[in-house]
Amino acid sequence: MKVMSDDKQGTKPLPTGTAPKLPSSRRGTKGAFSEIMREMKKVTWPTPKETNRLTGVVLAVCALMMILLLTFSKLADVVFELLTTGKVK
Protein backbone atom coordinates (compact mmCIF):
# COMPACT_ATOMS: atom_id res chain seq x y z
CA MET A 1 0.00 0.00 0.00
CA LYS A 2 1.37 3.42 -0.97
CA VAL A 3 1.72 6.05 1.73
CA MET A 4 1.66 9.82 1.29
CA SER A 5 3.01 12.21 3.88
CA ASP A 6 0.49 14.38 5.71
CA ASP A 7 1.91 17.13 7.93
CA LYS A 8 -1.01 17.12 10.39
CA GLN A 9 -1.50 13.42 11.07
CA GLY A 10 1.75 11.73 10.04
CA THR A 11 0.96 9.40 7.13
CA LYS A 12 -2.22 8.21 5.50
CA PRO A 13 -2.68 5.50 2.87
CA LEU A 14 -3.39 6.46 -0.73
CA PRO A 15 -6.37 4.89 -2.46
CA THR A 16 -5.36 1.95 -4.66
CA GLY A 17 -4.50 2.91 -8.24
CA THR A 18 -3.80 6.59 -7.54
CA ALA A 19 -0.54 8.49 -7.74
CA PRO A 20 0.49 11.44 -5.58
CA LYS A 21 -0.35 14.82 -7.09
CA LEU A 22 2.50 16.74 -8.70
CA PRO A 23 3.01 20.35 -7.68
CA SER A 24 1.70 22.85 -10.23
CA SER A 25 3.75 25.76 -11.51
CA ARG A 26 2.25 28.96 -10.14
CA ARG A 27 4.41 31.44 -12.03
CA GLY A 28 4.03 30.01 -15.55
CA THR A 29 6.59 29.97 -18.33
CA LYS A 30 8.01 33.42 -17.59
CA GLY A 31 8.61 32.47 -13.96
CA ALA A 32 10.27 29.21 -14.97
CA PHE A 33 12.68 30.97 -17.33
CA SER A 34 13.54 33.65 -14.78
CA GLU A 35 14.27 30.93 -12.23
CA ILE A 36 16.49 29.12 -14.75
CA MET A 37 18.40 32.33 -15.46
CA ARG A 38 18.85 32.97 -11.74
CA GLU A 39 20.27 29.47 -11.26
CA MET A 40 22.54 29.78 -14.32
CA LYS A 41 24.14 32.89 -12.78
CA LYS A 42 25.15 30.79 -9.77
CA VAL A 43 27.10 28.31 -11.94
CA THR A 44 30.87 28.52 -11.85
CA TRP A 45 31.91 28.09 -15.48
CA PRO A 46 35.39 26.73 -16.32
CA THR A 47 37.96 28.93 -18.00
CA PRO A 48 38.83 28.23 -21.67
CA LYS A 49 42.21 26.85 -20.58
CA GLU A 50 40.56 24.46 -18.11
CA THR A 51 37.98 23.45 -20.74
CA ASN A 52 40.75 22.58 -23.23
CA ARG A 53 42.64 20.59 -20.61
CA LEU A 54 39.55 18.61 -19.59
CA THR A 55 38.63 17.99 -23.24
CA GLY A 56 42.12 16.56 -23.75
CA VAL A 57 41.66 14.29 -20.74
CA VAL A 58 38.33 13.01 -22.08
CA LEU A 59 39.78 12.36 -25.55
CA ALA A 60 42.81 10.57 -24.06
CA VAL A 61 40.60 8.33 -21.90
CA CYS A 62 38.39 7.56 -24.93
CA ALA A 63 41.45 6.65 -27.02
CA LEU A 64 42.82 4.48 -24.22
CA MET A 65 39.49 2.68 -23.82
CA MET A 66 39.26 2.16 -27.58
CA ILE A 67 42.72 0.58 -27.67
CA LEU A 68 41.94 -1.54 -24.59
CA LEU A 69 38.62 -2.80 -25.97
CA LEU A 70 40.13 -3.49 -29.40
CA THR A 71 42.92 -5.50 -27.76
CA PHE A 72 40.46 -7.53 -25.67
CA SER A 73 38.29 -8.11 -28.72
CA LYS A 74 41.18 -9.44 -30.79
CA LEU A 75 42.38 -11.56 -27.86
CA ALA A 76 38.91 -13.04 -27.40
CA ASP A 77 38.71 -13.70 -31.15
CA VAL A 78 41.98 -15.64 -31.05
CA VAL A 79 40.91 -17.63 -27.99
CA PHE A 80 37.52 -18.56 -29.49
CA GLU A 81 39.15 -19.45 -32.79
CA LEU A 82 41.61 -21.75 -30.98
CA LEU A 83 38.79 -23.37 -29.00
CA THR A 84 36.52 -23.97 -31.98
CA THR A 85 38.93 -24.86 -34.81
CA GLY A 86 42.23 -25.54 -33.07
CA LYS A 87 44.13 -23.06 -35.26
CA VAL A 88 44.42 -19.30 -35.70
CA LYS A 89 43.70 -17.59 -39.03
CA distance 81 to 89: 8
User: Is 81:88 a contact under the CB 8 Å cutoff?
Assistant: yes
Question: What pTM, to 2 d.p., does this model score?
Answer: 0.52
pLDDT averaged over consecutive 10-residue blocks of the chain (89 residues)?
Answer: 54 68 68 88 94 98 98 96 85
- Provide the pLDDT for residue 84: 92
Domain spans of the chain, in order of start:
59-89
Q: What is the pLDDT of residue 30?
A: 81
Helices (H), the chain: 28-42, 48-85
Q: Give me the pLDDT at residue 14, please.
A: 62
pLDDT given at position 16: 72
Element (H, E) at 3: strand 3-6
- Residues listed for the chain: 89
Look at residue 88 in the predicted model and tell me its pLDDT.
74
